[in-house]
Structure 1
Amino acid sequence: MPASRVLMVIDMQNGVFETSRLDRERCTFRINQLIHAADQVIFIQHTEEGLEPESRAFDLLPELTRPANALYVTKTACDAFYRTTLEDVLQSRGIHEFVVCGCATDYCVDTTIKNGASKGYVMTVAGDAHTTANRPAADAKVLIAHYNDVWRSLTIPGNRLDVKETAEILAAWTTI
Protein backbone atom coordinates (compact mmCIF):
# COMPACT_ATOMS: atom_id res chain seq x y z
CA MET A 1 0.00 0.00 0.00
CA PRO A 2 1.48 3.39 -0.97
CA ALA A 3 2.18 6.01 1.67
CA SER A 4 -0.70 8.45 1.93
CA ARG A 5 1.23 11.41 3.35
CA VAL A 6 4.21 11.95 1.08
CA LEU A 7 6.50 14.96 1.27
CA MET A 8 9.08 16.03 -1.32
CA VAL A 9 11.76 18.37 0.06
CA ILE A 10 13.76 20.10 -2.67
CA ASP A 11 17.36 21.37 -2.35
CA MET A 12 17.45 22.24 1.34
CA GLN A 13 21.24 21.91 1.30
CA ASN A 14 24.10 23.71 3.02
CA GLY A 15 25.64 24.92 -0.24
CA VAL A 16 22.33 26.22 -1.56
CA PHE A 17 21.92 28.28 1.60
CA GLU A 18 25.35 29.87 1.27
CA THR A 19 23.29 32.47 -0.58
CA SER A 20 20.94 34.12 1.90
CA ARG A 21 17.36 32.82 1.64
CA LEU A 22 14.22 34.44 3.00
CA ASP A 23 13.07 33.19 6.43
CA ARG A 24 15.34 30.14 6.60
CA GLU A 25 14.37 29.39 10.22
CA ARG A 26 10.62 29.67 9.63
CA CYS A 27 10.84 27.64 6.41
CA THR A 28 12.85 24.82 7.98
CA PHE A 29 10.54 24.82 11.02
CA ARG A 30 7.51 24.28 8.76
CA ILE A 31 9.31 21.67 6.68
CA ASN A 32 10.18 19.79 9.88
CA GLN A 33 6.50 19.92 10.90
CA LEU A 34 5.63 18.30 7.59
CA ILE A 35 8.46 15.76 7.88
CA HIS A 36 7.24 14.66 11.31
CA ALA A 37 3.69 14.14 10.01
CA ALA A 38 4.62 12.46 6.71
CA ASP A 39 4.56 8.72 6.09
CA GLN A 40 7.27 9.08 3.46
CA VAL A 41 9.81 11.84 2.84
CA ILE A 42 11.75 12.22 -0.39
CA PHE A 43 14.75 14.52 -0.23
CA ILE A 44 15.86 15.96 -3.57
CA GLN A 45 19.49 17.12 -3.61
CA HIS A 46 21.17 19.11 -6.35
CA THR A 47 24.69 18.30 -7.46
CA GLU A 48 27.03 20.40 -9.56
CA GLU A 49 30.45 21.96 -9.10
CA GLY A 50 30.58 23.07 -5.48
CA LEU A 51 27.72 20.72 -4.51
CA GLU A 52 29.48 17.38 -4.91
CA PRO A 53 27.95 14.32 -3.20
CA GLU A 54 29.45 13.58 0.21
CA SER A 55 30.59 17.19 0.62
CA ARG A 56 29.35 19.49 3.37
CA ALA A 57 27.77 21.73 0.73
CA PHE A 58 25.75 18.80 -0.68
CA ASP A 59 24.48 17.75 2.76
CA LEU A 60 21.02 18.69 3.93
CA LEU A 61 20.73 21.58 6.37
CA PRO A 62 21.60 20.30 9.85
CA GLU A 63 18.33 21.52 11.35
CA LEU A 64 16.24 19.26 9.10
CA THR A 65 14.96 15.99 10.50
CA ARG A 66 15.94 12.93 8.46
CA PRO A 67 13.54 10.03 8.99
CA ALA A 68 15.11 6.57 8.87
CA ASN A 69 12.91 5.59 5.90
CA ALA A 70 13.62 8.77 3.91
CA LEU A 71 14.39 8.41 0.23
CA TYR A 72 17.05 10.45 -1.56
CA VAL A 73 17.22 11.51 -5.21
CA THR A 74 20.12 13.43 -6.70
CA LYS A 75 19.56 15.80 -9.61
CA THR A 76 21.73 17.93 -11.90
CA ALA A 77 19.05 20.26 -13.33
CA CYS A 78 16.35 22.49 -11.85
CA ASP A 79 13.81 19.77 -12.66
CA ALA A 80 13.93 16.89 -10.16
CA PHE A 81 12.46 14.60 -12.84
CA TYR A 82 15.11 15.36 -15.49
CA ARG A 83 17.44 12.37 -15.91
CA THR A 84 16.95 11.22 -12.32
CA THR A 85 15.49 8.17 -10.59
CA LEU A 86 12.56 10.19 -9.20
CA GLU A 87 9.86 8.71 -11.43
CA ASP A 88 11.12 5.18 -10.76
CA VAL A 89 11.10 5.89 -7.01
CA LEU A 90 7.53 7.23 -7.15
CA GLN A 91 6.20 4.49 -9.44
CA SER A 92 7.82 1.63 -7.53
CA ARG A 93 6.08 2.84 -4.36
CA GLY A 94 2.74 3.63 -5.99
CA ILE A 95 3.06 7.33 -5.19
CA HIS A 96 0.93 9.60 -7.38
CA GLU A 97 0.23 12.41 -4.94
CA PHE A 98 2.58 14.42 -2.71
CA VAL A 99 3.31 17.72 -1.00
CA VAL A 100 6.19 19.85 -2.29
CA CYS A 101 8.37 22.29 -0.34
CA GLY A 102 11.98 23.52 -0.36
CA CYS A 103 14.29 25.85 -2.25
CA ALA A 104 14.47 27.75 -4.62
CA THR A 105 10.90 28.83 -5.28
CA ASP A 106 11.63 30.39 -8.67
CA TYR A 107 14.00 27.71 -9.96
CA CYS A 108 13.98 24.11 -8.76
CA VAL A 109 10.67 24.15 -6.90
CA ASP A 110 8.79 25.77 -9.79
CA THR A 111 10.37 23.62 -12.50
CA THR A 112 9.75 20.38 -10.61
CA ILE A 113 6.14 21.32 -9.85
CA LYS A 114 5.31 22.20 -13.45
CA ASN A 115 6.97 19.11 -14.90
CA GLY A 116 5.43 16.84 -12.26
CA ALA A 117 1.98 18.27 -12.92
CA SER A 118 2.46 17.70 -16.66
CA LYS A 119 3.36 14.10 -15.88
CA GLY A 120 0.06 13.67 -14.02
CA TYR A 121 1.25 13.82 -10.41
CA VAL A 122 -1.21 15.41 -8.01
CA MET A 123 0.67 17.93 -5.93
CA THR A 124 0.05 20.29 -3.09
CA VAL A 125 2.56 23.07 -2.63
CA ALA A 126 3.23 24.03 0.99
CA GLY A 127 2.85 27.73 0.23
CA ASP A 128 4.62 28.82 3.41
CA ALA A 129 7.37 26.18 3.31
CA HIS A 130 9.43 27.17 0.29
CA THR A 131 11.98 29.93 0.00
CA THR A 132 14.32 31.70 -2.36
CA ALA A 133 16.84 34.52 -2.52
CA ASN A 134 16.33 38.13 -3.50
CA ARG A 135 16.82 38.50 -7.26
CA PRO A 136 17.66 41.60 -9.33
CA ALA A 137 14.09 41.82 -10.68
CA ALA A 138 12.20 41.11 -7.43
CA ASP A 139 12.83 40.39 -3.79
CA ALA A 140 12.24 36.93 -2.35
CA LYS A 141 8.97 37.83 -0.60
CA VAL A 142 7.47 39.04 -3.89
CA LEU A 143 8.73 35.98 -5.76
CA ILE A 144 7.24 33.57 -3.22
CA ALA A 145 3.86 35.33 -3.35
CA HIS A 146 4.02 35.47 -7.15
CA TYR A 147 4.76 31.75 -7.57
CA ASN A 148 2.09 30.74 -5.05
CA ASP A 149 -0.37 32.76 -7.15
CA VAL A 150 0.88 31.24 -10.43
CA TRP A 151 0.59 27.69 -9.06
CA ARG A 152 -2.92 28.34 -7.70
CA SER A 153 -4.12 29.30 -11.18
CA LEU A 154 -2.06 26.86 -13.27
CA THR A 155 -4.25 25.18 -15.89
CA ILE A 156 -3.74 21.42 -15.92
CA PRO A 157 -6.78 19.72 -17.48
CA GLY A 158 -7.54 16.47 -15.70
CA ASN A 159 -5.20 17.24 -12.82
CA ARG A 160 -5.09 19.62 -9.91
CA LEU A 161 -2.39 21.61 -8.20
CA ASP A 162 -3.17 23.04 -4.78
CA VAL A 163 -1.32 25.62 -2.72
CA LYS A 164 -2.01 25.34 0.99
CA GLU A 165 -0.40 26.57 4.17
CA THR A 166 1.45 24.02 6.31
CA ALA A 167 -1.22 24.13 9.04
CA GLU A 168 -3.92 23.27 6.49
CA ILE A 169 -1.87 20.36 5.10
CA LEU A 170 -1.22 19.03 8.59
CA ALA A 171 -4.92 19.29 9.48
CA ALA A 172 -5.86 17.35 6.32
CA TRP A 173 -3.21 14.71 7.06
CA THR A 174 -4.70 14.06 10.51
CA THR A 175 -7.94 12.95 8.84
CA ILE A 176 -6.21 10.37 6.62
Structure 2
Amino acid sequence: MAEQNVLIVVDMQNGVFESERYDRVGRAALINQLIDRAGRVIFIQHAEGEMTEGSALWDILPELHRPEGAISVTKTACDSFYRTTLESVLKELDTARFTICGCATDYCVDTTIKVAASKGYAVTVASDAHTTGNRTHVTAQQLIAHHNEVWEGLSVPGNPLTVKTTAQILADWL
Protein backbone atom coordinates (compact mmCIF):
# COMPACT_ATOMS: atom_id res chain seq x y z
CA MET A 1 0.00 0.00 0.00
CA ALA A 2 1.34 3.44 -0.94
CA GLU A 3 1.94 5.79 1.97
CA GLN A 4 -0.82 8.34 2.32
CA ASN A 5 -0.08 12.04 2.32
CA VAL A 6 -0.69 13.21 5.88
CA LEU A 7 -1.33 16.92 6.44
CA ILE A 8 -1.17 18.58 9.85
CA VAL A 9 -3.01 21.91 10.08
CA VAL A 10 -1.99 23.83 13.22
CA ASP A 11 -4.28 26.26 15.08
CA MET A 12 -6.29 27.63 12.16
CA GLN A 13 -9.02 28.54 14.64
CA ASN A 14 -11.50 31.36 15.14
CA GLY A 15 -9.94 32.39 18.46
CA VAL A 16 -6.41 32.47 17.05
CA PHE A 17 -7.58 34.72 14.23
CA GLU A 18 -9.20 37.23 16.56
CA SER A 19 -5.74 38.81 16.33
CA GLU A 20 -4.77 39.99 12.86
CA ARG A 21 -2.79 37.43 10.90
CA TYR A 22 -0.93 37.95 7.64
CA ASP A 23 -2.82 36.97 4.46
CA ARG A 24 -5.66 35.00 6.05
CA VAL A 25 -7.54 34.60 2.77
CA GLY A 26 -4.52 33.57 0.72
CA ARG A 27 -3.16 31.19 3.35
CA ALA A 28 -6.56 29.55 3.85
CA ALA A 29 -6.87 29.04 0.09
CA LEU A 30 -3.47 27.31 -0.05
CA ILE A 31 -4.27 25.19 3.00
CA ASN A 32 -7.55 24.16 1.34
CA GLN A 33 -5.59 22.99 -1.71
CA LEU A 34 -3.48 20.82 0.57
CA ILE A 35 -6.53 19.57 2.50
CA ASP A 36 -8.29 18.62 -0.72
CA ARG A 37 -5.35 16.49 -1.92
CA ALA A 38 -4.13 15.01 1.37
CA GLY A 39 -4.83 11.38 2.17
CA ARG A 40 -5.43 12.24 5.84
CA VAL A 41 -5.87 15.57 7.58
CA ILE A 42 -5.11 16.21 11.23
CA PHE A 43 -6.36 19.49 12.69
CA ILE A 44 -4.41 20.62 15.74
CA GLN A 45 -6.58 22.85 17.92
CA HIS A 46 -5.30 24.91 20.83
CA ALA A 47 -7.42 25.07 23.97
CA GLU A 48 -6.64 27.93 26.34
CA GLY A 49 -8.62 30.66 28.11
CA GLU A 50 -11.90 31.26 26.28
CA MET A 51 -10.84 28.86 23.52
CA THR A 52 -12.28 25.89 25.36
CA GLU A 53 -12.71 22.61 23.54
CA GLY A 54 -15.97 22.64 21.58
CA SER A 55 -16.43 26.44 21.77
CA ALA A 56 -16.88 28.70 18.74
CA LEU A 57 -13.43 30.23 19.37
CA TRP A 58 -11.83 26.74 19.45
CA ASP A 59 -13.48 25.75 16.15
CA ILE A 60 -11.63 25.66 12.84
CA LEU A 61 -11.99 28.73 10.58
CA PRO A 62 -15.23 28.45 8.58
CA GLU A 63 -13.46 28.92 5.24
CA LEU A 64 -11.34 25.80 5.71
CA HIS A 65 -12.50 22.53 4.19
CA ARG A 66 -13.23 19.72 6.64
CA PRO A 67 -12.97 16.38 4.93
CA GLU A 68 -14.82 13.39 6.24
CA GLY A 69 -12.51 11.41 8.47
CA ALA A 70 -10.38 14.41 9.46
CA ILE A 71 -8.82 13.96 12.89
CA SER A 72 -8.80 16.60 15.61
CA VAL A 73 -6.08 16.78 18.27
CA THR A 74 -6.45 19.26 21.11
CA LYS A 75 -3.34 20.78 22.65
CA THR A 76 -2.61 23.22 25.46
CA ALA A 77 1.02 24.12 24.63
CA CYS A 78 2.93 25.36 21.58
CA ASP A 79 4.19 21.81 21.05
CA SER A 80 1.49 19.74 19.33
CA PHE A 81 3.06 16.57 20.78
CA TYR A 82 3.10 17.74 24.41
CA ARG A 83 0.53 15.75 26.39
CA THR A 84 -1.60 15.14 23.30
CA THR A 85 -2.64 12.16 21.21
CA LEU A 86 -0.72 13.32 18.12
CA GLU A 87 2.04 10.73 18.33
CA SER A 88 -0.43 7.87 18.82
CA VAL A 89 -2.53 9.18 15.90
CA LEU A 90 0.54 9.19 13.65
CA LYS A 91 1.41 5.65 14.78
CA GLU A 92 -2.17 4.53 14.08
CA LEU A 93 -1.89 6.03 10.60
CA ASP A 94 1.42 4.16 10.24
CA THR A 95 3.25 7.25 9.05
CA ALA A 96 6.64 8.67 9.88
CA ARG A 97 6.24 11.65 7.55
CA PHE A 98 3.84 14.54 7.21
CA THR A 99 3.35 17.99 5.73
CA ILE A 100 2.62 20.88 8.08
CA CYS A 101 0.95 24.28 7.71
CA GLY A 102 -1.03 26.67 9.89
CA CYS A 103 -0.59 29.35 12.53
CA ALA A 104 1.39 30.83 14.23
CA THR A 105 4.64 30.46 12.32
CA ASP A 106 6.82 31.63 15.21
CA TYR A 107 5.06 29.76 17.99
CA CYS A 108 3.07 26.56 17.53
CA VAL A 109 4.12 25.75 13.96
CA ASP A 110 7.81 26.27 14.73
CA THR A 111 7.73 24.32 17.99
CA THR A 112 5.82 21.41 16.47
CA ILE A 113 8.22 21.21 13.50
CA LYS A 114 11.31 21.15 15.70
CA VAL A 115 9.91 18.58 18.13
CA ALA A 116 8.71 16.37 15.25
CA ALA A 117 12.11 16.49 13.59
CA SER A 118 13.85 15.57 16.85
CA LYS A 119 11.44 12.65 17.23
CA GLY A 120 12.50 11.38 13.80
CA TYR A 121 9.49 12.40 11.72
CA ALA A 122 10.18 13.45 8.13
CA VAL A 123 8.57 16.89 8.00
CA THR A 124 7.71 18.89 4.92
CA VAL A 125 6.82 22.51 5.61
CA ALA A 126 4.38 24.24 3.26
CA SER A 127 6.42 27.45 3.01
CA ASP A 128 3.54 29.58 1.74
CA ALA A 129 0.76 28.03 3.86
CA HIS A 130 1.66 29.20 7.36
CA THR A 131 1.05 32.59 8.90
CA THR A 132 1.47 34.74 11.96
CA GLY A 133 0.90 38.30 13.12
CA ASN A 134 3.20 41.29 13.25
CA ARG A 135 5.34 41.40 16.39
CA THR A 136 6.86 44.39 18.18
CA HIS A 137 10.15 44.34 16.26
CA VAL A 138 9.38 42.37 13.10
CA THR A 139 6.59 41.99 10.55
CA ALA A 140 4.68 38.79 9.92
CA GLN A 141 6.16 38.56 6.42
CA GLN A 142 9.69 38.82 7.84
CA LEU A 143 8.93 36.13 10.43
CA ILE A 144 7.54 33.78 7.78
CA ALA A 145 10.59 34.24 5.53
CA HIS A 146 12.96 33.93 8.47
CA HIS A 147 11.39 30.71 9.74
CA ASN A 148 11.37 29.14 6.27
CA GLU A 149 15.11 29.87 6.07
CA VAL A 150 15.76 28.49 9.57
CA TRP A 151 13.79 25.31 8.86
CA GLU A 152 15.66 24.73 5.59
CA GLY A 153 18.93 24.82 7.50
CA LEU A 154 17.84 23.07 10.68
CA SER A 155 20.49 20.61 11.79
CA VAL A 156 18.93 17.26 12.61
CA PRO A 157 21.52 14.72 11.41
CA GLY A 158 19.94 12.13 9.15
CA ASN A 159 16.58 13.87 9.16
CA PRO A 160 16.66 17.21 7.32
CA LEU A 161 13.45 19.18 7.02
CA THR A 162 11.99 19.85 3.61
CA VAL A 163 10.57 23.29 2.86
CA LYS A 164 8.45 23.57 -0.30
CA THR A 165 5.69 25.70 -1.72
CA THR A 166 2.17 24.35 -1.85
CA ALA A 167 2.49 23.94 -5.63
CA GLN A 168 5.67 21.86 -5.21
CA ILE A 169 4.03 19.69 -2.55
CA LEU A 170 0.94 19.10 -4.68
CA ALA A 171 3.16 18.13 -7.64
CA ASP A 172 4.90 15.60 -5.40
CA TRP A 173 1.53 14.21 -4.31
CA LEU A 174 0.45 13.27 -7.87
User: Does the alignment reach a TM-score above 0.5?
Assistant: yes
- Identity level (%): 60
Residues in 2 aligned to 1:61 and 1:19: alpha-carbon distance in whole angstroms: 13
Output the TM-score relative to the length of structure 1.
0.97
**Alignment partner of 1:142: what SS?**
helix
Partner in structure 1 of residue 34 of structure 2:
34
Q: Distance in 2 between matches of 1:2 and 1:170?
A: 16
Q: Does 1:114 align with 2:114?
A: yes
Q: Which residue of 2 aligns with 1:71?
A: 71
Indicate the residue corresponding to 2:48 in structure 1: 48
Aligned to 1:101: 101
Paired with 2:90 and 2:137, the residues of 1 have a C-alpha distance of 35
* Structure 2 residue ranges without an equivalent (≥5): none
Partner residue in 1 for 2:7: 7
Work out the number of aligned pairs and report it.
174
Matched, 1:134 2:123: no
Partner SS for 1:101: strand
1:59 positional shift: 0.3
Q: Distance in 1 between matches of 2:2 and 2:14?
A: 31
Aligned to 1:91: 91
Structure 1 residues not aligned, in runs of 5+: none
Distance across 1 between alignment mates of 2:53 and 2:3:
28
1:168 and 2:165 matched: no
Coordinate RMSD, CA, aligned: 0.9
TM-score (norm 2): 0.98
The answer to whether the 8 Å contact 1:154/1:161 transfers is yes
Q: Give the 3-state SS of the residue equivalent to 1:80 in structure 2.
A: coil
The answer as to whether partners of 1:2 and 1:94 remain within 8 angstroms in 2 is: no
Q: Which amino acid aligns with 2:70?
A: A
Consecutive aligned runs of 4 or more in structure 1 exceeding 4 Å deviation: none
Helix, strand or coil at the partner of 2:84: coil
